[in-house]
Structure 1
Amino acid sequence: MELQHFCHPEHPLIFNEKRTYDRDCHGCDQPILGPNYICIQCDHFCHHKSCAELPLELHHPLHPKHPLILFPTWKYYDNEDFEKCEVCKTNQGEYAYRCSHCNFNIHITCASLAPTMEAEVHEHPLTPFWKWITFTCDLYGKGGEGMPYQCNPCGFGIHRECASFLHRVKVVRHKHPLDLIQSFEVHQLDSPFCQLCVQNVDTNYGLYYCYKCDFVAHLHCAMDRRNIEYINLSELKDDENEDLELDQFVHLATYKVKKTTVGEDGIEIATEIEHFSHKHDLKYTYEILNNEKCNGCVQAILPPFYSCAECNFFLHKSCVDLPRKKRHPLHQHPLTLFPKPPYRRKWFNCDACSEICNGFTYTCENCDFKLDVQCYLMLDSLTHESHKHRLILSGTGYHQSCSGCGSKRLLVFKCITCEFALDFNCITLPHTTRYKQHEHPFTLSYIAEDNSGEYYCDICEEERDPNHWFYYCSDCNYPTHPKCILGKYPKYKFESVYTIFYHPHPLTFVEEPKDHPPCDTCEDLCEEYIYQCVQCNFNVHCFCI
């Protein structure tokens, strides 16, 4: 079956009943997942069947005096006279019906609104009120302008998008399903707060609630794609819901024990193991090493640990015991442990702290979601010695300020009592660290060390913000910025060895080359972060490789 479409007169569109395309419809700008029309010759002009067969003329109750003509709005983005849709008040890339006499426009999706709607949030059908008015949504509690959906018997009125809220949802960060309730009195909590964004909730309007745990969540927080785990739980029984535990995991073995011994406390210790992340066997040792990092969490290696006698490879005992697969409160799918990112690149950006890391990664292969080991170990509720109150993981659609460094982040651990908050970067900072050849350790400090009014970093000699955290050697009265002492990439292990297909020898990743050699690819000087082959004096920038 063919169709000659008014927006594509060059070629006919061919009907496909079942075939789907990994692209969006030219009509409504939504993914094509069912019957469709496509131009075979152009192989890009695609429509849902319903969008391709839209009538070219429409009579609509919002504009009864003139008929509306179908227009492709993407052809009129630069036309200032082409107004926004009268229903959603946006100018999107979808077709619209238009009256050119009155400059009236309505998107095809807005024009096709049903005369009544069955919604889970209300027991009666809801009818669109075809007039732009100022009102307060009875479910969401927000005021503003719009065209509400209303229930004539009850006087109940809500935003059109609020009708999509479900009666029951399951979020990643709670083990029980949450029920939508439209108003209630909290008996056990004096000032309830949403445990997903750590903001107060108004109990006079709708929210999601777990009766067993007094777990409260805003409607939009629970339905956020980053938080929601299961969409439709209305048919599940309560005893079945108990099995949907957040902390279910598959603990696959990450190592084989080769040799064991019995410690002084009578507990058996694995002294030699074969770990899935390394080609050589690892041995248990109490040796003290300076300026070495664990290949798993990329933190300073401290005894006891496992090491390779042939390579510069070390693992904390805790990193050896990491589970191979586990759920995490930041993601709706189980995460799998990889010794390196599951692709050719030698490093990855952590989705919690945004730092570059080349240690182990917990990855969701379906979503390309990645966490480094330090961020993976953070729970959704914890205490930190820098603050007296408990901190809860807060994920919002806007940036929040970290009390440790002043950075603005979407993810922070927030105090429900005061305005204190910490991002993943600060909450994973090591409590103590060392710096090159300095004889004493540095301790992470949360307040200014004196009242002199002069705050400088003794490494870079630049001024410090007295409200931000710093590292301090009390023996030498030596304060430093965290970045100055930990480096630009604190979660990167340098001196690691890599191989690339176009060079015959292993390359070492070096933070600061001594003589700044020219890059063998772009010929610019290599000042920092390069791959280097000592055997043949081969050097290449990390971004050139």
Structure 2
Amino acid sequence: MTVPFYMCCQYVDGKFCFVLHEWCAKLPLKVQHHVVHPAHTFFLLPKIPSKFFGVFNCNICKLPSNGFAYGCTMCGIYVDINCAFIPKEITHDAHPNHLLSKVKPLVKLTKRNCKACNYPMRFRWGYDCTSCDFYIHLDCALFLPRVTKHKCDEHTLSLRYEPAENHISEYFCEVCEDEFSPWKWFYHCTRCAQSMHTTCVPLILQCEKSRMTYDSGGVYNFLNVKFGGTLEIKGHSHHLTFVQGLESDGRCIKRRYVLELSMIFKCLEFALMDQIDHFDHHHPPSLVHLQQPSNKSEEDDDEDEEKDEDADNFVEEEHHGGKCNMCNEQIWSFHLSYYHCESCL
């Protein structure tokens, strides 16, 4: 951390079990007459008791969170600690000449869109400059830092409010590789001419990308969610880990819902079954190992060396053209194993 913090000196699994920013440690225990719910007092809650795994949707920014919150348990209204103390007026680099005032979600704002993400203002809190017809969602205004870093670029990325360097042709995100409109806010490195969606910058791995993440607004949907907790369930020998659902996770084994874009519990133990049931195929595919312990003689090894390397590394076309039917990528020997349906040769 780059700011002062407190920590508990007890260890759990080799790590400090509890860490708090100095600001978070000194939060007031209650807030009265909050603009969202002035009728009742808001109390500081380390965890929402009525919510599974403590996950709730903030009544102001609408983002999910499982951290500290202020709330009224009697009415079931909760706001995360970031939104509990939002200012009435702000200044912003995207509109530097005037103050921006806090505005509630209103029906009359139906035809007003956020300058950052281009989504309607009517459903979420925001800020506006009525004299200039400038509107911005609260989360887009406060949760997008002016500069940030990402492993895809060695330099600092700057938040851009319009096309960079008067370049308005094609823009592609370096994380998800999709094209995007430069009239929505994005992060950009001038030195490398690289750009990224504001929602993709928090992602570490390319496989975490989601084709719909950046369509949900200007801020990464799980920005306020702390992943990594574990859950024990009956009928499974391993603990399940609380993670972000990816496209590769498929569907829920119980209710068949698509897991991408969701908060899910997943077994991270590497245990491959000999045969599986797959939702996209009517036969149970069997596990095939591409590299197994070899008992070949030296003569056999000499013969193998004469084979073409590409033929040695690639699974022949008799297995669906040597490509995975889900991701359409080629299956190579370094993948070690794959699932194959013998009935559909």
Q: Same fold (TM over 0.5)?
A: yes
Match of 2:198 among 482, 489, 492: 482
Distance 1:524 1:336, change over 3 A: closer
Shift of 1:479: 1.3
User: Contact between 1:496 and 1:509, CA under 8 Å: does it hold in 2?
Assistant: yes
Task: Please report how far the alpha carbon of residue 518 of structure 1 lies from its aligned counterpart in structure 2 after TM superposition.
Answer: 7.1
Map 1:32-47 → 2, pairs under 5 A: none
Deviations 1:190-212 (A, max 9, x none): xxxxxxxxxxxxxxxxxxxxxxx
The equivalences for 1:302-313 within 5 A come to 302-307=2-7, 309-310=11-12, 311=15
1:386 aligns to what?
Answer: 94
Report the counterpart of residue 129 of structure 2 in structure 1: 415
Matched, 1:447 2:159: no
TM-score by length of 2: 0.59
1:324 aligns with 2:29: yes
Structure 1 pair 455/371, CA: closer, same or farther in 2 (3 Å)? farther
Q: Structure 1 residue 397 and structure 2 residue 104: aligned? A: no
Change (3 A) 1:446 1:314: farther
CA separation in 2, counterparts of 1:343 and 1:450?
50
Which amino acid letter does the alignment assign opposite residue 304 of structure 1?
Answer: P
Residue in 2 that maps onto 1:269: none
Distance 1:397 1:486, change over 3 A: same
3-state DSSP of counterpart to 1:330:
coil
Select the residue among 304, 315, 321 that pairs with 2:20.
315
**1:337 alignment partner AA:** L
After TM superposition, what 4+ stretches of structure 1 lie above 6 angstroms from structure 2?
none
Q: Distance in 1 between matches of 2:151 and 2:264?
A: 20
Q: Distance in 2 between matches of 1:336 and 1:425?
A: 22
Shift of 1:353: 1.7
CA RMSD of aligned residues (A): 3.2
Task: After TM superposition, give the deviation of residue 415 of structure 1 in Å.
Answer: 1.3
In the TM superposition, 1:245-264 aligns within 5 A as none
Residues 1:536 and 1:334: Cα distance change in structure 2 (over 3 Å):
farther
* Distance change (3 Å), C-alpha of 1:513 and 1:355: closer
Q: Structure 2: how far apart are the matches of 1:526 and 1:511?
A: 9
How far the C-alpha of 1:470 sits from its partner, in A, is 1.0
- 1:441-498 CA distances to partner (integer Å, 9 max, x unpaired)? 3222223212122141323333333332111223322111112223542424353214
Alignment match, 2:68: 360
Instruction: Write the deviation string for residues 157-216 of structure 1: whole angstroms up to 9, x where unpaired.
Output: xxxxxxxxxxxxxxxxxxxxxxxxxxxxxxxxxxxxxxxxxxxxxxxxxxxxxxxxxxxx
Q: What is the 5 A alignment of 1:336-375?
A: 336-346=43-53, 347-375=55-83
Task: Please report how far the alpha carbon of residue 344 of structure 1 lies from its aligned counterpart in structure 2 after TM superposition.
Answer: 3.4
Find 2:118's aligned residue among 406, 409, 419: 406
Q: Which amino acid aligns with 1:509?
A: F
Provide the rounded CA distance (Å) in 1 between the counterparts of 2:7 and 2:271: 29
Task: Quote the residue 2:229 is aligned against.
Answer: 497
Would the aligned equivalents of 1:375 and 1:428 in 2 still touch at CA under 8 Å? Answer: no
1:531 corresponds in structure 2 to 265
Task: Work out whether 1:458 is the aligned partner of 2:166.
Answer: no
Alignment CA distance shift 1:375-1:342 (3 Å): same
CA distance in 2, matches of 1:506, 1:478: 40
CA shift, 1:366, in A, is 2.6
2:107 maps to amino acid: G
Change (3 A) 1:526 1:471: same
Instruction: Give the direction of change, closer, same or farther, for the CA distance of 1:523–1:331 in structure 2 (3 Å limit).
Output: closer
| 1:93 alignment partner in structure 2 | none
Separation (CA, whole Å) in 2 of partners of 1:437 and 1:453:
22
> How far apart are the structure 2 equivalents of 1:511 and 1:475?
32
Equivalent residue of 2:20, what SS?
A: strand
Percent identity, aligned pairs only, is: 29
Gaps in structure 2 of 5+ consecutive residues: 204-212, 214-220, 273-345
The structure whose RCO (Cα within 8 Å, separation 6+) is larger is: 2
Tell me the residue number matched to 1:103.
Answer: none
Q: Report the 3-state secondary structure (helix = DSSP H, G, I; strand = E; otherwise coil) of the residue aligned with 1:467.
A: coil
Please identify the structure whose Cα radius of gyration is greater: 1
Q: Deviations over 1:256-292 (max 9, x none)?
A: xxxxxxxxxxxxxxxxxxxxxxxxxxxxxxxxxxxxx
Question: For the Cα contact (< 8 Å) 1:352–1:371, is it kept in 2?
Answer: yes
How far does residue 426 in structure 1 lie from its aligned partner after superposition? 0.5
Equivalent residues of 1:516, 1:526 under 8 A apart? yes
Contact 1:374 1:428 in 2 (8 A): no
Aligned partner of 1:150 in structure 2 is none
| Equivalence map 1:68-467=2 (5 Å) | 302-307=2-7, 309-310=11-12, 311=15, 314-327=19-32, 328-332=34-38, 333-346=40-53, 347-387=55-95, 388-395=97-104, 396-398=106-108, 399=110, 400-410=112-122, 411-431=125-145, 432-436=147-151, 438-459=153-174, 460-467=176-183
Change (3 A) 1:416 1:440: same
List per-residue Cα deviations over 1:418-451 (Å, max 9, x = no partner): 2111112201223133334543332222232121
Deviations 1:321-376 (A, max 9, x none): 22221133232132222222231323111111212222222212232222122222
The within-5 A match list for 1:42-81 is: none
Give SS of 1:375's match: coil
**Residue type of the partner of 2:229?**
V
CA distance in 2, matches of 1:436, 1:336: 39
Letter paired with 1:425: D
CA distance in 2, matches of 1:520, 1:495: 21
Q: 1:334 to 1:445 in 2, by over 3 A?
A: farther
Q: Output the CA distance in 2 between the equivalents of 1:504 and 1:343.
A: 27
- TM-score normalized by structure 1? 0.39
Does the residue aligned with 1:390 lie in a helix, a strand or coil?
Answer: strand
Q: Say if 2:144 and 2:198, in contact at 8 Å, map to a contact too.
A: no
Q: Is the 8 A contact 1:304 1:316 kept in 2?
A: yes
Equivalent position SS for 1:484: coil
- In 2, are the aligned partners of 1:352 and 1:375 still within 8 Å (CA)? yes
The Cα of 1:408 is off from its aligned counterpart by: 0.7
